[in-house]
């Protein structure tokens, strides 16, 4: 049976102007941005649509991205009537997936990532951690090299030929040299504010657990695929422990897509700025239909699916 997945990008896809047409031309889009502004005490339209220095700072990026993803999703649902059978997100995008699955309310998802962003921003002093993308080397070979270097791990299994590593700056640099020697085509340092999805963020995850104590979690209305396990989550009591671990654990995006494909998902709709996830999926499978929705006019692509 044909199934549809909604998928949501993570931090790094943001850009000035993302979601502006959804805000200016739809009632529900405006409602969600304005709701987020009221909750957080600063203007989300100003943050997302006007040139500023805050959009790329983690503590603001996360709230901006999740507000934008949720606004786009709610407009898509209202205007097309399309509902997902399953949902997933890349790292931060998992919070949009939680909203899509009915696990968190839209306001709670936005409030939680505001705190998550602050905790991640403050977790590691600038310059101590690093992240790099490793191109064209098999995951098993990368795991083998990293097993001999303390302080570095795989942060993201994005797709075949693209894996991200994270950890202590010196360890990431050492790993980069050894991965090139092992046959990686390129190792590219990423311009990020911290060593995300590494053990250096364990403390931030534990503090997030305290934030989550005050957030109501519901049984998923549809399954979502957790980054940490690449498995379906169908019960409410599974959610918080996974979100705590997610901050310092590998994001298994490729494996998550493979899980959905095995379950019959043949249509992926990426909701949010950019086309990053659509690109990953095309490298994971050639058999699925993939759409990306980042402009209001993109909804026309979904006619008839």
Distance, in Å, from the CA atom of 152 to the CA atom of 148, rounded to the nearest integer, reads 10
Distance, in Å, from the CA atom of 4 to the CA atom of 6, rounded to the nearest integer, reads 7
Distance (Å) of CA 288 to CA 264, 273, 285: 10, 21, 6
Element (H, E) at 225: strand 224-225
Active site residue 91: yes
Active site residue 197: yes
Whether 66 contacts 95, CB under 8 Å: yes
The total number of residues written for the chain in this structure: 305
Whether 278 contacts 271, CB under 8 Å: no
Phi, psi dihedral angles at 182 (to 5 degrees): -80, -5
Distance, in Å, from the CA atom of 96 to the CA atom of 10, rounded to the nearest integer, reads 10
Phi, psi dihedral angles at 86 (to 5 degrees): -155, 160
**Tokens 């700025």, residue?**
273
- Of these residues, 132, 166, 193, 197, which one is catalytic? 197
The first and second tokens of residue 62, run together, are 């996360």
Distance, in Å, from the CA atom of 287 to the CA atom of 281, rounded to the nearest integer, reads 10
Instruction: Provide the annotated active-site residues.
Output: 91, 197
């Amino acid at each position: 049976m044909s199934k549809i997945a909604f998928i949501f990008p993570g931090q790094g896809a943001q850009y000035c102007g993302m979601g502006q047409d959804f805000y200016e031309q739809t009632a529900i889009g405006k409602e969600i941005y304005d709701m987020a502004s009221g909750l957080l005490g600063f203007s989300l339209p100003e943050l997302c649509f006007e040139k500023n220095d805050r959009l790329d700072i983690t503590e603001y990026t996360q709230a901006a991205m999740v507000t934008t993803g949720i606004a786009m999703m709610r407009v898509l649902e209202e205007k097309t009537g399309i509902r997902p059978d399953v949902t997933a997100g890349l790292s931060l995008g998992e919070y949009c997936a939680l909203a899509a699955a009915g696990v968190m309310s839209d306001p709670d998802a936005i409030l939680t990532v505001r705190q998550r962003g602050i905790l991640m921003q403050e977790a590691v002093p600038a310059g101590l951690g690093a992240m790099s993308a490793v191109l064209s080397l098999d995951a098993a070979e990368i795991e083998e090299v990293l097993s001999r270097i303390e302080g570095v791990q795989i942060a993201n299994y994005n797709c075949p030929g693209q894996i991200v590593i994270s950890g202590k700056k010196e360890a990431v640099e050492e790993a980069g040299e050894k991965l090139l020697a092992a046959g990686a085509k390129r190792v590219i340092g990423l311009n990020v504010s911290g060593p995300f999805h590494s053990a250096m963020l364990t403390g931030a995850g534990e503090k997030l657990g305290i934030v989550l104590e005050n957030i109501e979690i519901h049984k998923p209305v549809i399954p979502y695929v957790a980054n940490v396990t690449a498995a379906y989550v169908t019960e409410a009591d599974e959610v918080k422990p996974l979100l705590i671990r997610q901050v310092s654990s590998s994001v298994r995006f490729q494996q998550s897509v493979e899980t959905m494909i095995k379950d019959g998902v043949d249509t992926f709709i990426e909701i949010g700025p950019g086309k990053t996830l659509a690109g990953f999926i095309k490298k994971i499978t050639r058999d699925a239909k993939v759409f990306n929705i980042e402009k209001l006019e993109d909804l026309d692509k979904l006619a008839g699916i």
